Structure 1
Amino acid sequence: MSTTLIQPPAAATADSSTPVERRKARDPLLDNARYWVMLLVVAGHGLQYLLDVPDARGTYTWIYAFHMPAFVLISGYVARRYEGSPKQVRTMLTSLVLPYVGLNVALDGFRALLDDEPLAVNLLDPAWSTWFLIALFVWRLSSPVWRVVRAPVLVSVVVSLVAGLWQVGDVLSIHRILGLLPFYVAGMYLRPEHFALLRRPAVRVASVVALAGTLGWCLLRHEGWYVSWLYWRDAYADAPLDADAFGGLATRAGLLVTGFALSAAVLSVVPARRDRTSDLGRHTMNAYVLHGFVLILLAHLGVFSALATWGALSVPVVLVGSVLLGTALMSAPVARLVSPVVTPQLRWAFRDQRAGGV
């Protein structure tokens, strides 16, 4: 096989394109997919407060089977041109590292304020959803490695499987970083022709069947299955998984297959044309950073406890609420308001590369 078929394109990096060119190059399919997957992230975090409700637990299990794998896959594709240039490094520091630190402090502080407890911050133990920010930072740093090794996707799968045997503390969500790694690496090697294949009518029909069928299966068969497997954060032998090596490897392999299949299904069924969700999908970071505060506050006020008494009816309420909340947080007015804080530029903190200094 020709090298050109397996290497990410060596086209212009983010450094060499103008803002206008980058806007024109945006793929509405990816922006639409980010929007819908972000809504699943919000919904999943909302449903976690209702796991004692059978239908909520089943829906939650279905969402967690693929929503982060799909998000990581898309992130790998978007970052496929990462080469470690000064501008790209600055962007990572301001869009990932600083938000990771700030969000950890803010979430811990918000919880402490609501619970009337002293603030305790541990940046080595990511607070709730912040793990993805530090994971994306590590994955991007590793990108050059996956351009030079042979069979990169296969190697990353082996890393993911073996990592579950490693009984170490989950510092900086290392288990999630290694467990979900294959989706990032596979995303780096996606090509337009792969997306074209997913858009074929027969594939789209099969994708709808796969998504609907797995949802039905999760609603019927979720009892007695540890959702903790879907968090990718524990070694196989550790609680609450408590699995032997063979059982752990087999379960994770199954989750990898499921994650890839359903991620492909999502990319197949989301609209490919530019529409309202395309613009919203450009601001998923705002929703990712902010939705936790809203959900924590609602839980503190007893909203989810009240919803739990509604039984199965609580599920559509949470899903509709998640769509409204996620859409609002990805809107242009919110972006104008919070982007300077969520992704600060901090040009004063970096050397001017145009000056040619060292």
Structure 2
Amino acid sequence: MTSLKTPAHREEVAPVSASVPPKPKSSARDPYFDNAKYLAIILVAAGHSWEPLPDSGRIVAAAYAFVYTFHMPVFILISGYLSRSFDLRPDRAWRLVATLVVPYAIFEVAYTLFERVFGDSSFPLSPTDPYWLLWFLPALFIWRLTTPIWQALRWPVPVSLGIAVVGAMGHGIGGDLQLERVLQFLPFYVLGMRLRPHHFELLRNTRVRLAAIPVCAVALLAAYWTEPRMNHAWFFRSSNAQDLGAPFWVGGIMTLALFGCALVLGGCFFAWVPGRRLWITALGAGTLYGYLLHGFVIRGANYLGWYDDLTVLGTPLGRVTVTLAAIAVVTLLCTPPVRRVFRFVVEPPLGWAARRNGTEGTSRA
């Protein structure tokens, strides 16, 4: 929980913005995945709101570790699932640029200016070193570019898991675009590509839902026990084992262990996601806005000194209040009115720059 330019100390999750095909022959959005994205984004906001808390205590730290075990893998898995049919057709390649590269550039500049005004006047603009919560945009860009490769492999998930192990054990991979994190989170994207609707249906039966309750309870107790014994940076996958002060071979063990834990808790999460259309469904369609914008609120509150009041925030009630406030803020940022205001920067209209014979109609890709 330190430098904004050092992602090893924070685990951020960028929401998926693509349309969700519930069935191969349908172009309608599936409310199940929009509901999942909304529930995941409130976990992101809650986790970010806990980071600046003074003397947050062991319970909050345990909750932080519990949430960070699976919320990032959930988003990446959904990203992979939604990218199953992706290819490098010109219109889809252009859509990658319009929905990931351009917003990344815009918000990298915006957050840098924000930091220079309210924080460090010399805060660097370094596009190859993504700001705090922006790392997921270039990561998703890289993963989607490699989608045809994973579609062609016979055993894509084991191969991607082997790459993740190398990413955790290797030294000197480099920090450009947070490549270590891209490699270590890769298996969740590839696994998502391999999943089909019936896999999610299996998770949503009554037995699985009931079993998820004691599983999560045990996981919370385990998080409480390990909190003073484990470095939270392992959850972020942005460093190799040696950078975290461990022998290189520990990186492989931790990669496999955290992959298993994330699958179990992610399965519990998906089991309890409602499948019908609810009031949160429309919000799930706008989680990219909540994700990209809520960082200004969290960092702004910190710079304004709102986290300095120990008499309030040092109490259980104060911590609950901060959590609820973060959930309310990110919910507001996902609403249609906010999306209309900020659409020009989150989803900039770039049709004018596309070649008519190659990328026209990218909005339908």
* TM-score normalized by the length of structure 2: 0.87
Provide, for residues 179-235 of structure 1, a one-character-per-residue CA deviation record: whole Å limited to 9, x for no partner: 000000000111111011001100111122222331233234311310011110001
Task: Give distance in 2, aligned partners of 1:354 and 1:152.
Answer: 30
Structure 1 gap segments, 5+ residues each: 1-12, 15-19
Tell me how far apart the structure 1 counterparts of residues 267 and 45 of structure 2 sit (CA, whole Å): 20
Give distance in 1, aligned partners of 2:116 and 2:220: 36
Contact 1:283–1:331, Cα closer than 8 Å, also in 2: yes
Distance, in Å, in 1 between the alignment partners of 2:240 and 2:54 is 23
Farther off after superposition, 171-180 or 40-49? 40-49
SS at structure 2 position matched to 1:31: helix
Aligned to 2:254: 251
1:182 and 1:236 map into 2 onto residues whose CA distance is 18
Aligned counterparts of 1:51 and 1:189: Cα–Cα separation in 2: 42
Matches within 5 A, 1:91-106: 91-106=95-110
Give 2:113's match in structure 1, choosing from 109, 114, 121: 109
TM-score (norm 1): 0.89
Q: 2:345 aligns with which of 338, 341, 346?
A: 341
Q: Which runs of 5+ in 2 are unaligned?
A: 1-17, 20-24, 361-365
> In structure 2, the residue corresponding to 1:304 is in which secondary structure?
coil
Report which of the two has the higher share of helix.
1
Identity of aligned residues (%): 35
Matched, 1:171 2:182: no
1:201 is aligned to 206
1:172 deviation in Å?
0.3
Structure 1 residue corresponding to 2:92, chosen from 78, 88, 95: 88
Does 1:153 find its partner at 2:157?
yes
**Does 2:308 match 1:305?**
yes
Match of 2:56 in 1: 53
* Distance in 2 (alpha carbons) for counterparts of 1:116 and 1:177: 28
Which letter does structure 1 place at the counterpart of 2:297?
A: V
Q: Secondary structure at the match of 2:309?
A: helix
Aligned to 1:295: 298
Match of 1:274 in 2: 277
Other structure's SS at 1:52 match: coil
3-state SS, counterpart of residue 135 of structure 2: helix
Tell me the CA shift for residue 282 of structure 1: 0.4
Distance 2:134 2:359 in 1: 35
Q: Is the 8 A contact 1:35 1:280 kept in 2?
A: yes
Query: Partner amino acid for 1:192?
Result: P
Mean CA deviation greater in 183-192 or 337-346:
337-346
> Deviation at 1:246?
2.5
Give the number of equivalent residue pairs.
335
CA RMSD of aligned residues (A): 2.0
Contact 2:161 2:187 in 1 (8 A): yes
State the match for 1:3 in structure 2.
none
Task: Give SS of 1:120's match.
Answer: coil
Deviation per CA, 1:126-185: give whole Å up to 9, x if none.
000100011000000010010111210111111101111221222101011000000000
Distance 1:213 1:135, change over 3 A: same
Change beyond 3 A, Cα 1:113–1:33: same
